Amino acid sequence: MSYMSSLSVEDLDNVVLTTRQLNSTTSPIPSFRDEDTLDSPDSRRKYDVFLSFRGEDTRSSFTSHLYFTLQTSGIIVFKDDHSLQRGDPIPTSLLRGIEDSRISVIVFSKNYANSKWCMNELVKIMECQRTIGHRVLPVFYNVDPSEIRCQTGEFGKSFQNLLNRIVPEDELMAVKWRDALREAGGLAGFLVLNFRFFILRSYLHFK
């Protein structure tokens, strides 16, 4: 597995650019006059991007900046506190939001795997990647991709905290969580270290 050399950026342009490129490789949203393509899967998707993140880690920092930058670039984003209607059952609405989006941007952070909702989102995201061509772009926020793949380091401890709380009927789901982490941790994406200084590495050439 080889990586590109690191590069500095002034803002989140590289993440946004990659998202736009991924979005452009999917079928464009058709005009309502284009009756031949109205029934295509992409024509029924309401969002360009689904943002998956752990609120306590990144909601008021990286994720809020990413959301704003994507929105101002004309990208329609599903973010739980902006896209859910009052009274929606949150887990169902989040899972539906994934299906209704072309791309998922997963912001992996130290406590991401300590959330059952986040882990169920991840399983759904990876399922949609396999079954409906959903695109996935991981962002590794102050965690190394190997920690996600192998559930080690502080990320692994966070995941173990979740496993310690599950009930017996969740044990099968825990296997799916591990599989999804291994799969997502091996995808090309971005490593963000020390966001205050906007240091970004791109992981675009995995072998």
> DSSP H helical segments within 13-53, as ranges?
13-24
Q: Which of 2-6, 26-30, 90-94, 197-201 has the lowest mean pLDDT?
A: 2-6
pLDDT reading at 146 higher than 90? yes
CB-based contact 93:79 (threshold 8 Å): no
Cα dist from 47 to 82, 94, 95, 125, 193, whole Å: 12, 12, 13, 14, 28
User: CB within 8 A of 55, min separation 6: which ones?
Assistant: 63, 80, 81
CB-based contact 190:15 (threshold 8 Å): yes
**Higher per-residue confidence, 83 vs 139:** 139
Q: Which of 49-53, 57-61, 190-194 has the lowest mean pLDDT?
A: 190-194
Top-confidence range, 19-23, 79-83, 108-112, 166-170: 108-112
pLDDT reading at 205 higher than 80? no
For position 115, what pLDDT does the model report? Answer: 92
Q: How confident is the model at residue 184 (pLDDT cuts 50, 70, 90)?
A: very high
- Look up 121 and say whether it is catalytic: yes
Bridge-based pairing of strands 135-141 and 77-78 is: unpaired
- Exactly one of 35, 56, 99, 121 is catalytic; name it: 121
pLDDT reading at 154 higher than 70? yes
pLDDT reading at 198 higher than 70? no
Amino acid at site 70: L
List the domains of the chain with CATH numbers.
45-192 (3.40.50.10140)
Q: Which residue has the tokens 């825990």?
A: 174
* pLDDT more than 90, % of the chain: 47
The region, left, alpha or beta by phi > 0 then psi within -120 to 50, assigned to residue 161 is: alpha
Across residues 101-116, what is the average pLDDT?
95
Q: 46 in helix, strand or coil? A: coil
Q: Which of 54-68, 113-127, 193-207 has the lowest mean pLDDT?
A: 193-207
Mean pLDDT score across all residues of the chain: 78
For position 114, what pLDDT does the model report? Answer: 95
How far out from the chain centre does Cα 139 lie? 7
For position 172, what pLDDT does the model report? Answer: 93
